[in-house]
Amino acid sequence: MNPDYEGTKPLNFALKDRFRVIYLEYNDAVEKKLNIDTKMLDVAKKLRDSEEIFTPISTRGLLFYTEDVKTYGDKVARACFMNKFDTSEQPVVKEILELILDNIQPITGDENENNAEQDEENNN
């Protein structure tokens, strides 16, 4: 059971008392054995650690991504992966995918200012 998951109801005490409760985290060692790309495992870790992402990053989703890359190519696989997230989360997911899979560094406000200053100096 996934307690507090969307669409579920809390168990009453009498029913809950009949079961043992075990909380399981995602297991990196298991995901590595499933031949999920190591960069995609890094993506999953970063997304799971993010305070901006609330959509679960399941092992199943990582397997789907791996399968989609082989079947449809990287562009479609990324789109399918990103479409599982809420639209408000997608920019963060896209940035993390690019950061890790493409090694594209995000541009911060400070870098934009420095680039503008350098461009101005070059023009003078």
The per-residue pLDDT string of the chain (124 residues; one tens digit each, 9 = 90 and over) reads: 676 777 788 888 898 889 887 878 899 899 999 999 899 999 999 999 999 999 999 999 999 999 999 999 999 999 999 999 999 999 999 999 999 999 877 666 655 555 555 555 655 5
Which residues are CB-contacts of 3 (< 8 A; sequence separation ≥ 6)?
10, 11
Q: How far is residue 42 CA from its own chain's centroid?
A: 9
CA-based nearest residue to 85, from 48, 62, 116, 57: 57
Sequence length of the chain is 124
